[in-house]
Structure 1
Amino acid sequence: MDFSLLLALTAIALPVLLHLLTRANKPRHGTRAKLPPGSLGLPLIGQSLGLLRAMRANTAERWIQGRVDRYGPVSKLSLFGAPTVLLTGPAANKFVFFSGALAMQQPRSVQRILGERSLIELTGADQRRIRGALTEFLKPDMLRLYVGRIDGEVRRHLDAEWAGRGAVTVLPLMKRLTFDIISSLLFGLERGAARDALAADFKHLIDGMWAVPVDLPFTAFHRSLRASARARRVIAGITRETKARLERGEASRSSDLIACLLSLTDGSGAPQLSEEEIVDSSMVTLIAGHDTSSILMTFMVRHVASDPDTLAAMVQEHDEIAESKGDGEALAWEDLAKMKFTWRVALEILRMVPPIFGNFRRATQDIEYDGYVIPKGWQVFWTASVTHMDAAIFHEPAKFDPSRFKDGSPATAPPCSFVAFGGGPRICPGMEFARIETLVTMHYLVRRFRWKLLCKEDTFARDPMPSPLHGLPIQLESKSSH
């Protein structure tokens, strides 16, 4: 964003925000608790630029820890124009995930791009209704039906984009793969011009989600809004077509997400979700199922390139599975249960490089926590790295050790310490879907290819999700026997 525009916006907003923040900084009449320590900084800007700079320089964990060292596990600051309380530690995570007085909170830019009736915006009964509808599609009984389709998408992608190439850039390829998988399972959208057009719009949509929400022609936010409008029209059209197919008996509840959501009715037989809610839910699911899984698989590729022991153990696990199947036979639900070591590797990657650095909640009433008051309307910010990299919770946290997750969860860690998927009533409903997608992809990658990193510098930045240097270019070699 142009700096002069930022200054102009600051000048316009300064008097109003100063008044609001001054009022918000005072505890409400009658409360005996006090505000957390810390400073709200400059109006509008607060500590936002400092955090964003730290994320892009891959020093955000140190930035957060510096605040903890200075103020303790509870402190106040201002992020993205709103007074905020930073909460850290397992007890704080549990409070954030389970408190009924905290609602989901996203930047206004995200809300405008994804819609007003999405899972991340709703509260109370509406939130439970939408979440229940998505959970219906994402439960194991439904997902086991889709393993073969995911298998086919992965194999076609590797044949088209990896096989025969001397070098590839991993992150953009993983993003396209996860987009293809989820657009097939969500919308029944097969390969072709319509899927390619939606993929192009989706890229512009993502670019503006965390931008300053200024709707001017030259801004990323403006481009993102236009892309969002086009994507929403496509999804609305698919919704109407799917509804007609269901009425003609040409589709069933298990065809895809849209069909599943359209098939849900209440006690009187009326649809549970409106078309707007289906479109908004599809937008959120498309993003949630796209970025996080592609980042996880990219960082798995990055890690095993320099960890031959881990790679060898993964190859052995997947070779044994392949030997038990017929030539060319697709993976099945039962095969995924045998990929225990690979999933432990994935969980350890998620501990060390969580795709979601942190997230926001909003106080719906005055709340007391640990002797401090969080005023109604303030944001609450939690981060994964504080507990993930705490030596008191995970021994030698900087060491890669998949055995921490031998039983699928860290045995010695207190509850709400490993929070890569969040926790509580709002734990990621797509966790099992991400597991299937990751395991199927890694099965074919480690059996079909060898690779080595082409960047000498092994680092990454967050913007806001982690991205390896240059998208992780690798030198690729096919294994001729596979």
Structure 2
Amino acid sequence: MRAFSREALQHYMPVIQEEVSACLRQWLLVSGGGSCLLVYPEVKRLMFRIAMRILLGFRPSPTAGSDGEQHLMEAFEEMIRNLFSLPIDLPFSGLYKGLRARDVIHAKIEESIQAKLAGKEPPDGYKDALQLLMEHTQGNGEQLNMQELKESATELLFAGHETTASAATSLITFLGLHQDVLQKVRKELQEKGLLGHMSQEKHLEMELLEQLKYTGCVIKETLRLSPPVPGGFRVALKTFELNGYQIPKGWNVIYSICDTHDVAELFTNKDEFNPDRFMSPFPEDSSRFSFIPFGGGLRSCVGKEFAKILLKIFTVELARNCDWQLLNGPPTMKTGPTVYPEDNLPTKFTSFNGRV
């Protein structure tokens, strides 16, 4: 998909860095005033802004939490809360609330689509993922109608911010609990010239991010222990047998990402947070079926490279700008529909002094 090609990802990177940096400055300002932050809702707001800009081409207000942005985010969360509702479309039912919230989102998305169809230039000088999707389908003679475009855009918005918010919150959790790992990340950043005042104004480049091997392993280990999506669905294309059980063609099959990671013989000391386990490559045929945070096969997550870049930029900016303390210690995790901390992860942030 062209929307997540290497060239497209390079265009997205300055926007991601800009949004993450601005968000962290705000967190430090709030914490400096003596307040703690509830990390999970704050990270969700950040990822929603990034998804709106990069995936759908919206230009949020410079002021985080502006009325229009807040209204759209509340509508999206209302839709997600009622994703699994009884099929009763009556006022005050979950289905009714979810459908009305979806209509609000679709109306906003339709505005963006109409602007693209009218040929208006993108405000940030780059084409967003929805624009690239539209061009790609038109070029292949598979032009989507308005309803299909709105549904595709809604799916992009969900996949592009709910899952990354879960993963970024888990990164803050694990790095906050394992200061030795955080220090190793900072040493790697120092070796690559990414620590210190002179480096703060420097735009991150794809080639440089690819050199941050240990930081990448921290992200992998976070996704191994706390995959944002606990499982997935597939349809059997033909009848097959698995462990003595026959699965008929056409049946829905549910697989668990969490359980796959838990039972994989590839990993030793599975409950430990140990990014070093990924520093030496595993046999390809083993890791293909043992480490599946983005699903697997032909239907694996189409935006996985976008997610990896986003999480790496987030980790770099977090590690070189902030120190933090988890006020309640290790959180209890819940799922609905993605993994998140039950207490929203109250945290106190302070500025990192730059010394490793």
Residue of 62, 81, 90 corresponding to 1:216: 90
Quickly say closer, same or farther: Cα 1:252–1:308, change in 2 above 3 A: closer
Residue of 148, 157, 172 corresponding to 2:14: 148
- 1:343 is aligned to 216
What one-letter code is carried by the residue in structure 1 that aligns with 2:75?
Answer: D
What is the RMSD of the two structures over their aligned residues, measured on CA atoms? 2.7
- 1:288 is aligned to 159
* Local SS of the residue matching 2:348: strand
What one-letter code is carried by the residue in structure 1 that aligns with 2:80?
Answer: I
- 2:316 is aligned to 443
Quickly say closer, same or farther: Cα 1:237–1:425, change in 2 above 3 A: same
Deviations for 1:277-297, whole angstroms, at most 9, x for unmatched residues? 221111111101111111111
What one-letter code is carried by the residue in structure 1 that aligns with 2:265?
Answer: A
Structure 2 distance, partners of 1:169, 1:426, is: 34
Quickly say closer, same or farther: Cα 1:363–1:217, change in 2 above 3 A: farther
Structure 1 distance, partners of 2:347, 2:199, is: 31
8 Å contact from structure 2 (residues 177, 330) kept in 1: no
What one-letter code is carried by the residue in structure 2 that aligns with 1:208?
Answer: N
- 2:64 is aligned to none
Alignment of 1:98-177 (within 5 A): 135-165=1-31, 166-177=35-46
Residue of 243, 263, 276 corresponding to 1:390: 263
- 1:106 is aligned to none
- 1:180 is aligned to 49
8 Å contact from structure 1 (residues 315, 447) kept in 2: yes
Q: CA deviation at 1:353?
A: 1.3
What one-letter code is carried by the residue in structure 2 that aligns with 1:150?
Answer: I
- 1:59 is aligned to none
Deviates more, 1:442-451 or 1:364-373: 364-373
Alignment of 1:253-272 (within 5 A): 254-264=126-136, 272=143
- 1:402 matches 2:275: yes
Deviations for 1:164-218, whole angstroms, at most 9, x for unmatched residues? 4241111111111111001001222122343332212111111111334433323
8 Å contact from structure 2 (residues 55, 160) kept in 1: no
8 Å contact from structure 2 (residues 78, 98) kept in 1: yes
What one-letter code is carried by the residue in structure 2 that aligns with 1:258?
Answer: L
8 Å contact from structure 1 (residues 319, 447) kept in 2: no
Alignment of 1:175-254 (within 5 A): 175-192=44-61, 193-246=67-120, 254=126
8 Å contact from structure 1 (residues 254, 260) kept in 2: no
Quickly say closer, same or farther: Cα 1:207–1:408, change in 2 above 3 A: farther
8 Å contact from structure 2 (residues 13, 204) kept in 1: yes
Quickly say closer, same or farther: Cα 1:229–1:174, change in 2 above 3 A: same
Report how many residues are paired: 345
Q: CA deviation at 1:370?
A: 4.6
8 Å contact from structure 1 (residues 460, 466) kept in 2: yes
* Local SS of the residue matching 2:288: coil
Q: CA deviation at 1:444?
A: 1.5
* Local SS of the residue matching 1:163: helix
Quickly say closer, same or farther: Cα 1:418–1:190, change in 2 above 3 A: same
What one-letter code is carried by the residue in structure 2 that aligns with 1:159?
Answer: R
TM-score by length of 2: 0.87
Quickly say closer, same or farther: Cα 1:350–1:372, change in 2 above 3 A: same
8 Å contact from structure 1 (residues 245, 251) kept in 2: no
- 1:299 matches 2:182: no
What one-letter code is carried by the residue in structure 1 that aligns with 2:29?
Answer: A
Q: CA deviation at 1:242?
A: 1.5
Structure 2 distance, partners of 1:476, 1:266, is: 47
8 Å contact from structure 1 (residues 172, 471) kept in 2: yes
What one-letter code is carried by the residue in structure 2 that aligns with 1:304?
Answer: L
Deviates more, 1:423-432 or 1:471-480: 471-480
Structure 2 distance, partners of 1:285, 1:256, is: 11
Structure 1 distance, partners of 2:281, 2:166, is: 20
Deviates more, 1:148-157 or 1:462-471: 462-471
* Local SS of the residue matching 2:194: helix
Q: CA deviation at 1:480?
A: 5.5
Structure 2 distance, partners of 1:187, 1:391, is: 37
Structure 2 distance, partners of 1:409, 1:211, is: 42
What one-letter code is carried by the residue in structure 2 that aligns with 1:244?
Answer: A
Q: CA deviation at 1:412?
A: 8.5
What one-letter code is carried by the residue in structure 1 that aligns with 2:273?
Answer: F
- 1:39 is aligned to none
Alignment of 1:55-70 (within 5 A): none
Q: CA deviation at 1:154?
A: 1.0
Deviations for 1:217-268, whole angstroms, at most 9, x for unmatched residues? 233332111111110111011101122135xx6689942123212323556x
- Percent identity of the aligned residues? 30
Alignment of 1:75-86 (within 5 A): none
TM-score by length of 1: 0.66
Q: Structure 2 stretches of 5 or more lacking a match? A: 62-66
* Local SS of the residue matching 1:452: strand
What one-letter code is carried by the residue in structure 1 that aligns with 2:60?
Answer: R
What one-letter code is carried by the residue in structure 2 that aligns with 1:284?
Answer: E
Q: CA deviation at 1:384?
A: 1.5
Quickly say closer, same or farther: Cα 1:230–1:164, change in 2 above 3 A: closer
Q: Structure 1 stretches of 5 or more lacking a match? A: 1-134
